[in-house]
Amino acid sequence: MTKPTLLTTATTTVLDGKSVLVTGGTGSFGKAFVQRALSSKARKVIVFSRDEQKHYEMERTISDRRMRYFVGDIRDRDRLQNAFRDVDIVVHAAAMKHVPICEYNPIEAVQTNVNGARNVIEAAMSCGVERVLALSTDKAVSPANLYGATKLCMEKLLIAANAYAGDRTTRFSCVRYGNVMGSAGSVIPLFRAQQKRGQITITDRRMTRFWIEMSEAVALVLRGIDLMNGGEIFIPKLPTSDIETLAEAVAPGVPRSQVGIRPGEKLHETLVSVEEARRTSDLGDVLVIWPEFQFHQTLQGVRPGIPVPDGFVYSSDCAEPRLDLDATRAMVDRVA
């Protein structure tokens, strides 16, 4: 019997008849999600982003009467409030995400990733949004850099928002995943650019990372919207690869130099910590970290799925499958 995967279990049915808004909708994930949402019977699809030029470019490539575009910043609660009117589902993807930039501009990172999340929460409750699903990262687990710390705060705010919502209908959950192949800031485009110059730079040969394709990231969000009752963190089952194997897959035979780990980077990333494992279940296609508190009986004490084993840790240095060179090359070849 074939095991269920995100690409086989996720459907757009949950969007049918709904008004859907994506913060950060002009980014790599946002554009991919919008395209998938437009294949559904969604009533309206709204892009919310602060980048005027990206709005212009997106409007030129997508001609669908259901599309709406809001130029705005999640730091501006009033603008969010206007955008969220008559919205049923919010996918919160807006963030500052480059580790070194967040380290050098910490207040800006907090303003966007933490205060922005608070604004999303308050605007969603005020406007009666039904479901808010936020995108998080493996770097939020035992964070070693400011970006990860702000994403951990974002997760905590979103989960606790289910208590703040009280008797309102708004529910909040998160997805958490690893590096998106080929997205803006991904190492794969960097390696391809360095290949042309004849020299690849890698940080540390021991480094490992989780990898997810954009189609899988979109499918995870759809699955999360469908499954959420409020307070869950949904985790995909992902392959891992070490950085040297990835470099060889992208640029075979090109000389490599080791430059050392950048400030705030880890050798290995974790998607589920040993502490979180005590409240984590395996649903087949996804892992679910259940909230520590019952929010107004949203889960009614029921945790579907199979509890993960005692001592379980989902870390990139020991998770399966670990991709060999051929499998890594096949993965890279699927990235445009």
Active site amino acids = 139
Sheet of strand 179-180, all strands in order from the earlier edge strand to the far edge: 179-180, 208-212, 240-242
- State which amino acid sits at residue 288: V
- CA dist 240 to 35, 223, 233, 316, 326, Å? 27, 22, 20, 6, 13
Query: Using CA atoms, how far apart are residues 101 and 98, in angstroms rounded to an integer?
Result: 5
- CA dist 116 to 93, 101, 212, 274, Å? 11, 17, 25, 29
Query: Using CA atoms, how far apart are residues 331 and 99, in angstroms rounded to an integer?
Result: 24
Q: Pick from 210, 169, 221, 237: which is nearest to 25 by CA?
A: 221
Phi-psi bin for 90: left (phi > 0), alpha (psi -120 to 50), beta? beta
Cα atoms found within 13 Å of the Cα of residue 133, Cβ hemisphere only: 28
